[in-house]
């Protein structure tokens, strides 16, 4: 049985692969920088999702492919260096065609991340929860991207997740299944089936027909009440809570600043926010000061 995630870079992807083999559910927290990644680790999550939505929002931008490979790579690298658990990088559509997907794999793998995820929408992609304008790339062309990324790997343990947005784009479960079978054939180690339905029924139907051909990843943002144990029993191998840290931060910061302005000082919020000493601890101040001696 798998134990805790390893600290050695080369073993982090292998640890996730072993979890898949052992049928142990991998719980992943979305993050957008080193601080939120470290808080996820301290909270007990198995891995970190370097969220393109979160990274974009942290830059004050919408999740519309406005940032490029360099920005996402820098953010993912910072997260990887901040934690000892695996980091999975959300690489949107792979930043271009097949040759770009191959380059994406080489650059993120060199940074130390445990794996990357690429989705099958047209560039520039729109966040999955944008109401209109969602467009899929042809399944065959996307499979070519995955094959190029897979063949570009320097280490066989590095994970490649093929994400289908078929359900997001209004296609049915049958099309999602067709695509995911192609993606596994092309070299994907796992598939991410995304849905914005209010319940898990679409995902459950997918899982029933998928029959555990390869590990399945879900992002239950809109069907948040689906218990993770129930999901695992249905055939889910990884659950990503992709944007909750970002949303929690927005609410907490907004309420804090509103209270400060309302009361004319920060005295009323001090009991409800982290102390400076806590920030020192999370950022490992003492360890860094020790290096200067």
Q: How far apart are the first and last CA of the chain?
A: 41
Quick one: how far is CA 248 from the chain centroid? 17
Catalytic site positions: 63
Identify the burial level of 96 via C-beta atoms within 10 angstroms of its C-beta, where 0-12 means exposed, 13-18 middle and 19 or more buried.
middle
Cis peptide before 4 (omega within 30 of 0): no
Give how far Cα 251 sits from Cα of 38, 59, 202, 231, 255, Å: 20, 17, 30, 28, 6
Q: Is the dihedral of CA 236, 69, 133, 33 positive or negative?
A: positive
Distance (Å, whole) CA 72 – CA 128: 18
- The three-state secondary structure class of 187 is coil
Give me the residue label for tokens 């190029």.
148
């Amino acid at each position: 049985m798998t134990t805790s995630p390893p600290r050695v870079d080369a073993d982090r992807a292998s640890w996730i692969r072993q979890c898949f083999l052992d049928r142990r559910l991998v719980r992943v927290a979305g993050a957008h920088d080193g601080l939120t990644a470290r808080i996820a680790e301290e909270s007990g999550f198995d891995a970190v999702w370097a969220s393109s939505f979160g990274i974009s929002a942290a830059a004050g931008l919408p999740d519309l492919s406005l940032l490029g490979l360099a920005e996402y790579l820098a953010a993912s690298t910072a997260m990887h260096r901040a934690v000892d658990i695996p980091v999975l990088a959300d690489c949107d559509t792979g930043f271009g065609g097949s040759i770009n997907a191959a380059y994406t794999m080489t650059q993120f793998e060199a940074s130390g991340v445990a794996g990357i995820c690429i989705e099958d929408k047209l560039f520039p992609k729109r966040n999955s929860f944008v109401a209109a304008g969602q467009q899929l790339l042809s399944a065959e062309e996307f499979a070519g991207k995955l094959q190029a990324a897979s063949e570009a790997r320097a280490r066989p343990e590095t994970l490649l997740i093929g994400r289908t947005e078929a359900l997001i784009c209004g296609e049915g479960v049958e099309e999602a299944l067709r695509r995911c079978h192609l993606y596994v054939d092309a070299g994907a180690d796992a598939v991410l089936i995304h849905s914005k339905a209010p319940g898990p029924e679409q995902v459950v139907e997918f899982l029933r027909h998928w029959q555990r051909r390869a590990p399945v990843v879900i992002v239950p943002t809109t069907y948040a009440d689906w218990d993770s144990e129930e999901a695992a029993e249905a055939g889910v191998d990884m659950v990503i809570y992709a944007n909750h840290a970002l949303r929690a931060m927005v609410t907490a910061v907004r309420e804090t600043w509103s209270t400060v302005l309302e009361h004319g000082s920060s005295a009323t919020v001090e009991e409800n926010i982290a102390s400076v000493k806590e920030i020192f601890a999370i950022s490992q101040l003492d360890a860094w000061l020790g290096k200067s001696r």
